Structure 1
Amino acid sequence: MSEIVRRPVSRNAKLAKIPLGVAGRAAVGFGRKLAGGDRKEINTEMNQKAAEQLFAVLGELKGGAMKFGQALSVMEAAVPEEFGEHYREALTKLQAAAPPMPVATVHRVLDQQLGTDWRKRFESFDDTPAASASIGQVHKAVWSDGRRVAVKVQYPGADEALRADLRTLNRMTGLFAKVIPGADVKPLLAEINERTEEELDYRNEAANQRAFSKAYEGHPEFVVPKVVASAPKVIVSEWLDGTSVSAMIAAGQADPEGTRVLRNRVAGLMGRFHFSSPEIVGLLHADPHPGNFMITPEGKLAVIDYGACAPLPGGFPELLGRILALAVAEEYGRLTELLHANGWVLPGRTLTEQEIEEYLRPFTDPIRSESFHFTRRWMQRVAGKATDYSSPEMKTARAMMLPGEYVMIFRVLGGSIGICAQLDAEVPFMQLASRWLPGFREERDSA
């Protein structure tokens, strides 16, 4: 393929194909139904074509378009059953695949970032990419000291493309909601906007990854690849072999009973990693999608891609633990007071105890027992409640706001739950909260 499309006009035209294509197919499908066509067959065909177009456009454009698609892919489990497996397959492809950039382009970026004699720093370098992502692709290589390494190279023009996409996608949120029912895209785009500049400089990612690698070095359950070299547009880190969580999700769908123990273990490891890192590292890995997690041959959880990390130097906020404890105890009066006092309700708006209780009820299943089984059916039900804009609960939601310091935390929480639902796994959610959330046990005891 050609290099990444940079011109905003060209990118906007490609993005516009998605809603226009969906609308066109809907009109054609309606006509075929009127003519007596098989309704189920027509719907299946339309969904498949729409899903294929979604993957083709977002994957080809890379940049913010693909990053947005990857964020949506985590919520794949929430896609209603009537949209079938086609959307799921398209979204899953966006987790770890995109058309590659030309070899000459890769070499040119390496010349600019590592010097024109960059080949001397490697024993070998594979020109065929091992993986592709939203703003860069990964190549397998051998470093000069014999270590196998992963070389992530940023697409030329990714910065311009990312910014252009985000401006366009922010204007298309209503249309994307029709393509992916049940997904609230506005918070996803707001967060991607917030973190754009940080992720474009791989030196930030290298610093985050070094912090995680040092903190978890020798850990019995987790492994983080060490950074070997870094530049603004290139990062070299140790290569890790393993089975991706994406593959485990697929295996679970093919053999639910035979893979249940493994899937539960993997989901538990992911939970412990996310809950423990703020206290251990002072950072929260904030890009939860299945392509960033693997199980190594030794049975450890390997975690990659540290471009998006939320700084939490004191661990999780104590207020978060207190809020969760009051919800567990169903102390909605005290919880409502706490939310008002700490900026979770818009200025000038007042919410009652009953309104808060009714708003939270659809989301409280995981906190009613020490362990909870996350399923697609549960995700679909919760997503349906969360996107019913005519409901009283949505009126309550519009009176609330999430303080800025909690946006990334809830993004990770939502993404992690989405992966657990794709894994169809049981997770000791409350045990993790009790161990790692400051303020939780203290508030629970007092309640």
Structure 2
Amino acid sequence: MSDIPRRGAARTAKLASLPLGFAGRTAAGWGKRIAGQTSEQVSADMSAKTAEQLFSVLGELKGGAMKFGQALSVFEAAVPEELAEPYREALTKLQSGAPPMPATTVHRVLAEQLGTGWRSRFASFDDSPAASASIGQVHRAVWSDGRDVAVKVQYPGADEALRSDLKQVQRFSRLFQAVAPGLEIKPLIAELRDRMVEELDYRAEADNQRTFAAAFDGDPEFLVPKVVASAPKVVVSEWVEGVKLAAVIASGDKAQRDEVGRKLSVFHFSSPARSGLLHSDPHPGNFMVAPDGRLIVIDFGAVARLPHGMPTTLGRMSVLALEDRPTELFSLMREAGFVRPGIEMDPGAVLEYLAPFVEPMRGDIFHFTRRWLQGQANRFGDARGPEMEMARSMNLPAEYLLIYRVTMGSIAILCQLDAELPFWDIVHTWQPGVREA
């Protein structure tokens, strides 16, 4: 009998512990207030403990729960520093860690996907996983022609686990506000859920990786490993090694962090123009720095298909906002569907609302900091502030949702890096609609 139902029940039980823990901390919080602690002290304590439990539970899980945790971990830079420290390490672990599956299970999947003679395709195969992620784990091996390769093997039952876990996570979405104040969690969960089926097909991921590898082949700044072989639940690609981005964030010197930040931005904005695709899983676990300084990019399961590059409308909106042309900006936004039908708004107020989004484009160099991101999160997360009222009148068209999430995730990584870079120059070079506006 399969043990997938039992594993699913265990995951559900762990996820169910989250709201129970939150309820207990809420009750304890009332007691502390009675004992004389301020509401701010109690709130900070509860937020830290909620986040600590949240990432501790997600860190033990595979499937959709861990996938969501990885996506959310990018926004760690938006959390106030006094709350971030207790669980920053747990967040980092989510970016690359998960319990391994037994070697016998790995061998069974390889036989199903590559044929019963799968061992003949390898000169050697290491049964101990070199890395693990949300729906699969990676093994180091040597291909029959002598190349070092990475073999990504999908967990059996990953499709069931993904759907089940995301359904559970969606029920507890309000708890995640303790981790990223101001972040709209429900649309993020819905968008991640919609990407699950696509990510489960490793053949599609391999095709995406081939496209990226061809687009960046020979580039002196980027390295995308080439695909060697693929099947629905197995991908074999060239083995690459480098310093993990999490290590650069934690201990890289300023010059290294600035340079990595610049390359991340160039990759983000140039990929659609060069490959017709946007890498849509921007968390530090998917990036490394090669010994020669190139930025290594891996994991192409989630992409946005942009055959004509980034939407021209975004570039035109950016220029109109930078040039303080509110009437034209509002007209373009209404035409593109960024304003809800029938809503009348002050174009000047709309321009003021969008100012933080274009702030990094002002000036030759912009310094992305945690403090800056925290300020924006607090600004847009204030339910009583004018920004929230403005947000209710705005709309994010479906075709822009993934681009928005990926761009915000990439900016969050820049803030984790504390990077200074010529952001406007990069946007001006690669974003369609900027030069034409």
TM-score (norm 2): 0.93
Q: Pick from 389, 394, 399: which aligns with 2:383?
A: 389
Residue of structure 2 equivalent to 1:126 = 126
Q: Does the 8 Å contact 2:318/2:358 carry over to 1? A: no
Deviation at 1:38, TM superposition (A): 12
Q: Pick from 313, 324, 327: which aligns with 2:307?
A: 313
Residue of structure 1 equivalent to 2:317 = 323
1:45-103 CA distance string (max 9 Å, x none):
86665444323321222111011100111011001223140122221211111111222
CA gap of 1:320–1:187, structure 2 versus 1, over 3 A, is same
Residue of structure 1 equivalent to 2:258 = 264
Give 3-state SS (helix, strand or coil) of 1:297's partner. coil
Q: Pick from 328, 347, 350: which aligns with 1:356?
A: 350
Letter of the 1:62 partner, please give it.
K
Q: Does the 8 Å contact 1:346/1:400 carry over to 2? A: yes
Give 3-state SS (helix, strand or coil) of 2:250's partner. helix
Q: Does the 8 Å contact 2:242/2:289 carry over to 1? A: yes
Q: Does the 8 Å contact 1:150/1:239 carry over to 2? A: yes
CA distance in 1, matches of 2:346, 2:4: 51
Query: How do 1:11-410 residues align onto structure 2 when only pairs under 5 Å count?
Result: 11-28=11-28, 30-31=30-31, 34=34, 50-252=50-252, 259-410=253-404
Q: Does the 8 Å contact 1:19/1:179 carry over to 2? A: no
Give 3-state SS (helix, strand or coil) of 1:90's partner. helix
Q: Does the 8 Å contact 1:6/1:157 carry over to 2? A: no
CA distance in 1, matches of 2:34, 2:434: 58
Greater mean deviation of Cα atoms: 170-179 or 299-308? 170-179
* Count, aligned residues: 436
CA distance in 1, matches of 2:48, 2:130: 27
Letter of the 2:218 partner, please give it.
G
Q: Does the 8 Å contact 1:54/1:90 carry over to 2? A: no
Q: Does the 8 Å contact 2:289/2:296 carry over to 1? A: yes
Residue of structure 2 equivalent to 1:420 = 414
Deviation at 1:305, TM superposition (A): 0.3
CA gap of 1:206–1:6, structure 2 versus 1, over 3 A, is farther
Q: Does the 8 Å contact 2:224/2:298 carry over to 1? A: yes
Question: Which stretches in structure 1 are left out of the alignment for 5+ residues?
Answer: 253-258
1:276-315 CA distance string (max 9 Å, x none):
1111111111110111111111111110000011111111
Q: Does the 8 Å contact 2:63/2:158 carry over to 1? A: yes
CA distance in 2, matches of 1:39, 1:318: 47
Deviation at 1:371, TM superposition (A): 1.8
Deviation at 1:155, TM superposition (A): 0.9
RMSD between aligned residues? 2.3
Give 3-state SS (helix, strand or coil) of 1:74's partner. helix
CA distance in 1, matches of 2:5, 2:261: 37
Deviation at 1:177, TM superposition (A): 1.6
Deviation at 1:348, TM superposition (A): 2.3
Deviation at 1:196, TM superposition (A): 1.2
TM-score (norm 1): 0.91
CA gap of 1:174–1:53, structure 2 versus 1, over 3 A, is closer
Q: Does the 8 Å contact 1:4/1:101 carry over to 2? A: no
1:164-205 CA distance string (max 9 Å, x none):
122222222222223543432123212212211110100110
CA distance in 2, matches of 1:23, 1:407: 32
Residue of structure 2 equivalent to 1:255 = none
Greater mean deviation of Cα atoms: 191-200 or 363-372? 363-372
CA distance in 2, matches of 1:38, 1:317: 48
CA gap of 1:198–1:119, structure 2 versus 1, over 3 A, is same
Q: Does the 8 Å contact 2:241/2:290 carry over to 1? A: yes
Deviation at 1:26, TM superposition (A): 4.1
Residue of structure 2 equivalent to 1:256 = none
1:95-138 CA distance string (max 9 Å, x none):
11111122222122112111122111111111111111111111
CA gap of 1:171–1:59, structure 2 versus 1, over 3 A, is same
